[in-house]
């Protein structure tokens, strides 16, 4: 047992009073002299490291205890034989953070007491590090090529993924892995990941072949397998043949300003074939061509719904038969060839198309006696088409997606016969020369969405319509197909209003389901049609500028047909620069409220028509109608006795109401219920006078419209 200066020993031996007095004096004088080592103290401190013997992270917390019967005066540790580092005790425990190296780490903790006795404990800590330095000397490797991966800490087994897909390996050691790239591996730029229980490490690899600048004819002669990706260098690539056919090859350049494919003469054609199960890409390059075609080389059986994929049709079997019949009708007329059944895709990303002199431009079809349409999905990402004298035709039975892109062509034909057409944050423009080219067309099957974009047309009529509407026989059936036009500018301009005053029109048709036209800007020189076929169409919070000084009149027609059609037109601003009118036509239900309609001192503000073969209800209320010549015209035409129900209330007709026909002109109105009370009619509030301004013509039932109450101006 040690005997230092203690108030009480372990045997409760009392300290002499003289020693206690001396200790008290030394403390009071600030002369706390340490005890000299006790030569009889030979007991070693006891040390134990309590932290783990392995770690999967480099950060390691060293913990343990150090005990001495007198007291530990010095505590330190070493890591792999390095310099000693001091440790501090909290009670009898210690803790310190340190960084491990891969593999075995030798840690030694030593404690000393005042007598110089030492006690220590050593621990080997295994740092199970993830793979590091993983790479390959090969930056380009084709399907079927051997690939050698090197690194450290690879372990003895694990998993290699190319593009997120596991591939088999041939050998595996701690520093090297070998494998053969499968023929089914994803092509193009891919991430290769070595995955082990301890972690992952990755590097980039181009799966394909490299091809230096030169004639693409030489690439064709190399006869690479279908699906091969080709890495192009910076520079220009040309073609010697007048017709160059690239069989299921993808191309990746170094950027649109660095890599160019130039087809040469305007008449030269370049065709990118894309089989139904291939995913073809043109990326990071510029294509200069007047004749570019993208199509399947072997069109498959007629299958417009892409069987095997989900569809949103209300009655899949019946509608599939219907649309198949429609396609067959077009094919029998030589207008449309068989549709390819396709699960493939064609993507243009960071891509620029420039024309030489103008021509067919870029068309996803093969032209001939029939139009053989590409059947896969078409995707544009950051693509730019500078082809104002060329046609752009993105036509497929799959989906069409356009994102962050600009299409500027003589005209455009964007068609997804039986899929969805989506345009996001893009500009789409068509401007053919007067009398040249067809009308631009956006055609959709199961859905259309245009968001945060701009659509420009300098042609006769821009049509945004569903594919089934094109059929004449059998008649189209309602299809659950959503139309969404959101926060987009539609600019439809007549090229020469004097020479061709019938141009500059826009037609938008929606099918069954819920459709929305919200928060857009419409600038339309000619006529505007928004039609709802058996669904629910809401047109809200838009700004419309309609007409042109050189065009005599412009209508905005709202049509709703087929049950259970419902069309809402609310909180919009419509301004005409010529003689204009808002037309509500068709049957079923219209709701027109809280709009501001501003005319040009001519025309009839509201022109309402009804087909008596089906019931119609129109609720027109709380609109501000400014600067027209006449307020309302109602015309009922056709056979049948279904009633026309009109509620016209809360509206402010803010222009002079002072002559026959100014309130309303009724033509052949027989079966109707007309509630027209509670409106403001200019400055006139005498109901007798106002009723005298109702003009009844044709077979109109006398007195079928009677005003009994008005709001004061």
**Paired strand residues for 151:** none
pLDDT surpassing 90 at residue 205? yes
pTM for this one?
Answer: 0.79
Q: Output the pLDDT for position 371.
A: 58
The whole-number average pLDDT for the span 448-476 is 76
Q: 137 and 185 share a domain?
A: yes
Cα 581 to Cα 611: distance, rounded to the nearest angstrom: 19
Instruction: Name the DSSP letter for residue 562.
Output: S
Rg (CA), the chain: 41
Q: Which of 69-78, 182-191, 529-538, 660-669 has the lowest mean pLDDT?
A: 529-538
pLDDT surpassing 70 at residue 337? no
In a domain, 648, yes or no: no
Q: Output the pLDDT for position 4.
A: 37
Structural domain of 198: 132-207
Percentage of the chain beyond pLDDT 90 is 57
- Closest of 367, 343, 208 to residue 275, by C-alpha: 343
In a domain, 161, yes or no: yes
In a domain, 188, yes or no: yes
Q: 123 and 149 share a domain?
A: no
pLDDT tens-digit map of 302-333: 333 333 333 333 333 444 444 444 444 434 43
Q: In this structure, what token pair is assigned to residue 197?
A: 């229980």
In a domain, 449, yes or no: no
The whole-number average pLDDT for the span 574-584 is 95
In a domain, 460, yes or no: no
Dihedrals phi, psi of 128, to nearest 5 degrees = -85, 80
> Where a domain ends, among 181, 207, 233?
207
DSSP string, 622-643: S-EEES-SEEEEEEE-SS--PP
Q: Output the pLDDT for position 142.
A: 95
Contact 121, 48 (CB under 8 A): yes
* CATH code, domain carrying 170: 2.60.40.10
Q: Would the CA dihedral through 91, 92, 95, 96 be positive or negative?
A: positive
In a domain, 332, yes or no: no
Q: Output the pLDDT for position 57.
A: 86
Residue 211's pLDDT band (cuts 50, 70, 90): very high
Q: Which residues contact 101 (CB under 8 A, 6 or more apart)?
A: 58, 80, 127
Mean pLDDT of the chain: 84
Contact 663, 707 (CB under 8 A): yes
Q: 15 and 82 share a domain?
A: no
Cα 153 to Cα 104: distance, rounded to the nearest angstrom: 13
Q: Which residue has better confidence, 303 or 139?
A: 139
Q: Output the pLDDT for position 52.
A: 94
- Closest of 626, 568, 569 to residue 597, by C-alpha: 626
Q: Output the pLDDT for position 332.
A: 41
Burial class (CB in 10 A: 0-12, 13-18, 19+), 207: buried
> Where a domain ends, among 207, 240, 255?
207
In a domain, 151, yes or no: yes
Q: Output the pLDDT for position 117.
A: 93
Residue 471's pLDDT band (cuts 50, 70, 90): very low
The whole-number average pLDDT for the span 51-78 is 92
Cα 232 to Cα 246: distance, rounded to the nearest angstrom: 15
Q: Are strands 579-586 and 630-636 parallel, antiparallel or unpaired?
A: unpaired
pLDDT tens-digit map of 618-657: 999 999 999 999 999 999 866 556 788 999 999 999 999 9
Cα 48 to Cα 50: distance, rounded to the nearest angstrom: 6
Helix (H, G, I), strand (E, B), or coil: what is residue 141? strand
In a domain, 710, yes or no: no
> Where a domain ends, among 207, 227, 248?
207
Q: Output the pLDDT for position 338.
A: 36
Number of structural domains (the chain) is 3
Cα 384 to Cα 350: distance, rounded to the nearest angstrom: 8
Cα 384 to Cα 335: distance, rounded to the nearest angstrom: 29
> Which of the residue ranges 211-215, 437-441, 632-636 has the most confident prediction, judged by mean pLDDT?
211-215
């Amino acid at each position: 047992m040690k005997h230092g200066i203690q108030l009480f020993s372990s045997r409760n031996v009392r300290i002499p009073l003289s020693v206690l007095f001396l200790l008290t004096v030394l403390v009071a004088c600030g002369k706390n002299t340490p005890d000299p080592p006790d030569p009889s103290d030979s007991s070693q401190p006891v040390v134990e490291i309590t932290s783990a013997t392995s770690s999967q992270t480099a950060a390691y917390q060293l913990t343990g205890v150090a005990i001495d019967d007198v007291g530990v005066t010095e505590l330190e540790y070493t890591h792999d034989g390095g310099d000693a580092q001091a440790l501090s005790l909290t009670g009898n425990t210690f803790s310190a953070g340190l960084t491990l190296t891969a593999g075995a780490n030798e840690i030694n903790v030593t404690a000393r007491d005042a007598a110089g006795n030492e006690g220590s404990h050593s621990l080997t800590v295994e740092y199970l590090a993830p793979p590091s330095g993983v790479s390959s000397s090969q930056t380009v490797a084709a399907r079927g090529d051997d690939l050698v991966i090197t690194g450290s800490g690879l372990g003895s087994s694990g998993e290699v993924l190319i593009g997120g897909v596991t591939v088999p390996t041939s050998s595996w050691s701690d520093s090297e892995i070998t494998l053969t790239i499968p023929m089914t591996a994803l092509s193009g730029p891919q991430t290769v990941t070595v995955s082990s229980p301890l972690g992952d490490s990755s590097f980039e690899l181009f799966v394909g072949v490299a091809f230096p600048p030169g004639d693409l004819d030489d690439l064709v002669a190399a006869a690479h397998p279908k699906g091969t990706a080709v890495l192009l260098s910076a520079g220009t690539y040309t073609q010697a043949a007048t017709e160059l056919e690239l069989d299921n090859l993808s191309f990746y350049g170094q950027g649109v300003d660095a890599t160019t494919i130039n087809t040469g003469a305007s008449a030269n054609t370049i065709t990118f074939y894309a089989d139904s199960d291939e995913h073809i890409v043109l990326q990071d390059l510029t294509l200069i061509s007047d004749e570019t075609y993208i199509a399947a080389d072997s069109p498959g059986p007629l299958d417009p719904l892409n069987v095997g994929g989900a569809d949103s049709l209300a009655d899949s079997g019946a509608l599939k038969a219907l649309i198949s019949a429609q396609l067959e009708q077009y094919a029998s007329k030589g207008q449309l060839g068989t549709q390819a059944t396709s699960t493939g895709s064609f993507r243009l990303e960071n891509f620029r198309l420039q024309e030489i002199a103008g021509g067919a431009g870029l068309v996803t079809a093969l032209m001939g006696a029939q139009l053989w349409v590409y059947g896969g999905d078409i995707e544009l990402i950051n693509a730019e088409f500078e082809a104002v004298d060329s046609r752009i035709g993105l036509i497929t039975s799959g989906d069409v997606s356009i994102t962050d892109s600009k299409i500027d062509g003589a005209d455009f034909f964007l068609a997804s016969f039986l899929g969805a057409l989506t345009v996001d944050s893009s500009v789409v423009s068509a401007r053919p020369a007067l009398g040249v080219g067809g009308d631009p067309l956006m055609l959709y099957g199961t859905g259309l969405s245009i968001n945060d974009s701009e659509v420009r047309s300098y042609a006769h009529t821009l049509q945004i319509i569903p594919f089934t509407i094109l059929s004449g026989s059998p008649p189209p059936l309602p299809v659950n197909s959503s139309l969404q036009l959101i926060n987009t500018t539609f600019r439809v301009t007549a090229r020469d209003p004097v020479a061709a005053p019938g141009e500059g029109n826009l037609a938008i048709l929606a099918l069954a389901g819920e459709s929305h036209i919200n928060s857009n800007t419409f600038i339309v020189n000619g006529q505007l049609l928004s039609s709802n076929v058996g669904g629910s169409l809401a047109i809200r919070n838009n700004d419309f500028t309609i007409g042109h000084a050189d065009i005599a009149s412009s209508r905005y027609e709202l049509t709703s047909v087929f049950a259970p059609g419902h069309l809402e037109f609310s909180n919009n601003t419509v301004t005409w620069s010529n003689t204009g009118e808002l037309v509500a036509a068709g049957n079923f239900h219209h709701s027109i409220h809280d709009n501001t309609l501003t005319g040009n001192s001519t025309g009839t503000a509201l022109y309402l028509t009804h087909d008596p073969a089906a019931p119609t209800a129109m609720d027109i209320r709380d609109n501000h109608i400014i600067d027209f010549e006449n307020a309302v015209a109602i015309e009922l035409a056709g056979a049948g006795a279904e009633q026309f129900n009109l509620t016209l209330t809360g509206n402010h007709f803010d222009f002079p109401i002072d002559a026959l026909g100014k309130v309303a002109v009724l033509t052949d109105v027989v079966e109707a219920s007309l509630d027209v009370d509670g409106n403001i009619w200019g400055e006139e509030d005498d109901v007798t006078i106002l009723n005298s301004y109702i003009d009844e013509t044709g077979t109109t039932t006398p007195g079928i419209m009677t005003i009994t109450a008005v709001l004061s101006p």
